[in-house]
Amino acid sequence: MEVALVPTATAMKRTFHTKGWGGRFACPKANLFFIAAAHTAQAAQWCSPTSLTATKDGAQIYIACATSNQLQIYDTASSRISRTIALPAPASGVALSLKEDQLYVTIPSTKSTVRIIEASSGRPVATIPTAHTTLAPVLSPDGKTLYVVNRFNDEVAVIDLAARKQTTRIPMVREPADAALTPDGKHLIVANALPAGRADKPPIAAEVTIVDTQSLTASAHIVLPNGSTSLRAVRISPDGRHAVVTHSLSRYYLPSTQIERGWIQTNAITLIDVAQSQRLATVLLDEVDRGAANPWGVAWSVDGSTLLVTQAGTHEVSAINFPDLLAKLPDSDPSGDLSFLAGIRRRIPLQGNGPRAIVTTAAHTYVASYFSDTLESIDRSAVASMAARLSPQQVPDQIRKGERLFNDGAISFQGWLSCNSCHSPDARVDALNWDLLNDGIGNPKNAKSLLLAHRTPPAMWHGIRETAEIAVRAGIRNILFTQRPEDDATAIDVFLKSLKPLPSPHLVDGKLSPAAQRGRRIFNDTKVACARCHPAGLYTDLKSYDVGTCGKTDESAQFDTPTLIETWRTGPYLHDGSAATMRDVVTTSNLGDKHGATSHLKPNEIDDLIAYLLSL
């Protein structure tokens, strides 16, 4: 197979060729968690930068592209994309070897791989199989070990680079999204994206896991403040003393009567004392009348004096004086203080849309914006300027526009939140209950995945909205607290309709396991009657029932029958999030057999039924 380094319109006209990369490479449309929309002919033209890494001298920036099969290289001296390395599929992350002669590129899918590529020529050197949706490659200080996260297997994988294979898998909490290694290589800090457990009993918060790289075990679990979810990135200070993780700090326990002053949602970073393995503080990035929606990437200046955070929803970078931040911490609790960063932080506006990845060199900070395909540089005076466009300027189609709007906090009142603040970038769940007022006040409901929402009316747990289209417009009006042109709502509809289910990590080579096959028979058994309300296809009959889960604050005992597709990633379950696991759904939360006659099933039959449900 030929591997071409294909220049962009602004690149040097060079093309390299090599042979020896044998085999066929598949990239199913729905296999990348960060590609929310299905690929279209136009979507393939977008690069969607998702990860950056720089050479030690800052001469080159490597850019992993999430929606095009390429790795781009930006030359800082000439200020242009110098070349592009073709990949077999879109990439999620990139790391450099110690000698900077090789690249480690994560290619996510249901059967992800790490591609080892010769940096000078783009020649593929090796392919290492991993697992479901591999991200965040991190190299050990001795260059012998590569750590990656397998997001939907809930694990960190340890790769022996000499043997070129995974040697160890370390269980994480839920959907590890990013990882960073201390300078001495002794501890790997892992950000778990979502809370685990039930959503009706606080505290409900995601965790940071610290891995001891000697024993290859989790040595500590740091629970973030109540309402912490959507963890995006974690980085460690140059001196190794502190880690910072970006996340949302949701006020899910308050009714959504207003948006001002962070009433619904705030946006935060949490500082971790690495030596003590404990949370030092959680700091809000918002201001009193100006939100900082969807904090994403994080980096330190080379000397450690400035902490930089991308705000993907408001298209900015926050540059924080880190010594001053540490000096302020002993005097107050910043977790509820919207003025805490006053005087020690600059908000730097960007030209691009959706800044996510960020990396620093001695001279500049580079920020890549996902939706505008732009790379911008920030100099020491905190001024941002356009460094490069990663694809020709183009008009987005309705899917791309809808995805951008779904992730755009700037369209909400004062920039406090975006649709992805409660539904993830690809419109799934945040694992929290929300009191959205569409069925009264004081009766929170678990956030539902929006996958198939337009095909499974009505919307909302009580079916308050007749269609998902109506729900989208109500959300813009009553949650974002804004008015938008009808075309914006239509574009969001088109984006949501384009979503495709991800294959379950519980499948074996894409097929049901023997246990799941037995579970399918139980599911379809007329005595158990699961299929009566969840018939194959959409796995919902689109009707509402009293399934015995009505709470004291619920206005009706009738709840919409949800689809069972992707139940493996949508917990906690039931309208109030009271079932932490699918086992809870069919056992302790199924009193009276009101959602499936499961009480007579033997333990092994329960196991088989769960195996099937988690395979859908």
User: How far apart are the C-alpha atoms of 341 and 284, rounded to whole Å?
Assistant: 8
Encoded tokens for 513: 């396991």
Residue 13 has what pLDDT? 30
Residue 157 has what pLDDT? 98
Is the model's pLDDT at 6 over the cut of 80?
A: no
| 112 phi-psi bin (left φ>0, alpha ψ -120 to 50, beta other) | beta
- Who has greater pLDDT, 193 or 5? 193
CATH of the domain at 122: 2.130.10.10
| DSSP count for the chain of H helices, then E strands | 9, 33
Is the model's pLDDT at 21 over the cut of 90?
A: no
308 and 298 in contact (C-beta within 8 Å)?
yes
Confidence band for 44, pLDDT divided at 50, 70 and 90: low
- Would you say residue 448 lies in a domain? yes
Closest of 230, 340, 228 to residue 296, by C-alpha: 230
- Would you say residue 14 lies in a domain? no
What does the pLDDT average to over 420-436?
96
- Would you say residue 429 lies in a domain? yes
Can you give the pTM of this predicted structure?
0.92
Residues facing 375 on adjacent strands: 368, 388
Looking at the fold, whether 446 and 377 belong to one and the same domain comes out as no
Domain final residue, candidates 331, 366, 395: 395
- Would you say residue 94 lies in a domain? yes
Non-local (6+) Cβ contacts of 13 within 8 A are: 7
Is the model's pLDDT at 34 over the cut of 70?
A: no
Cα 252 to chain centroid, rounded: 19
Look at residue 152 and give its three-state secondary structure. helix
User: How far apart are the C-alpha atoms of 6 and 336, rounded to whole Å?
Assistant: 49
E-strand ranges in 224-343 read: 228-229, 234-236, 242-250, 265-273, 278-284, 295-300, 306-311, 316-321
Looking at the fold, whether 254 and 319 belong to one and the same domain comes out as yes
- Would you say residue 188 lies in a domain? yes
Is the model's pLDDT at 48 over the cut of 80?
A: yes
Looking at the fold, whether 131 and 77 belong to one and the same domain comes out as yes
CATH of the domain at 519: 1.10.760.10
Is the model's pLDDT at 36 over the cut of 60?
A: no
Is the model's pLDDT at 541 over the cut of 70?
A: yes
230 and 272 in contact (C-beta within 8 Å)?
no
Domain final residue, candidates 448, 470, 498: 498
pLDDT single digits (tens) 553-609: 898 999 999 999 999 999 999 999 999 999 999 999 999 999 999 999 999 999 999
Looking at the fold, whether 391 and 407 belong to one and the same domain comes out as no
User: How far apart are the C-alpha atoms of 338 and 262, rounded to whole Å?
Assistant: 8
Looking at the fold, whether 561 and 590 belong to one and the same domain comes out as yes
497's enclosing H/E stretch is helix 486-498
Looking at the fold, whether 475 and 341 belong to one and the same domain comes out as no
| 296 phi-psi bin (left φ>0, alpha ψ -120 to 50, beta other) | alpha
The winner for highest mean pLDDT among 7-16, 119-128, 545-554 is 119-128
User: How far apart are the C-alpha atoms of 50 and 356, rounded to whole Å?
Assistant: 7
pLDDT single digits (tens) 56-65: 999 999 999 9
* Helical packing angle, 486-498 and 468-478, nearest 10°: 130
Looking at the fold, whether 380 and 440 belong to one and the same domain comes out as no
Looking at the fold, whether 188 and 266 belong to one and the same domain comes out as yes
Looking at the fold, whether 329 and 441 belong to one and the same domain comes out as no
Looking at the fold, whether 381 and 518 belong to one and the same domain comes out as no
pLDDT single digits (tens) 242-265: 999 999 999 999 999 999 999 999
Domain span holding position 456 = 400-498
CA distance readout (Å), 62 to 59, 75, 243, 344, 362: 10, 9, 23, 31, 16
Count: domains in the chain: 3
Strands 165-171 vs 176-181: parallel, antiparallel or unpaired: unpaired
- Would you say residue 463 lies in a domain? yes
The identity of residue 204, as a single letter, is I
- Would you say residue 6 lies in a domain? no
Encoded tokens for 418: 């975006």
Confidence band for 40, pLDDT divided at 50, 70 and 90: very low
Strands 49-54 vs 60-65: parallel, antiparallel or unpaired: antiparallel
Residue 412 has what pLDDT? 98
Looking at the fold, whether 491 and 577 belong to one and the same domain comes out as no
- Would you say residue 148 lies in a domain? yes
pLDDT single digits (tens) 201-255: 999 999 999 999 999 999 999 999 999 999 999 999 999 999 999 999 999 999 9
Looking at the fold, whether 361 and 409 belong to one and the same domain comes out as no
Encoded tokens for 11: 């690149």
Domain final residue, candidates 379, 395, 411: 395
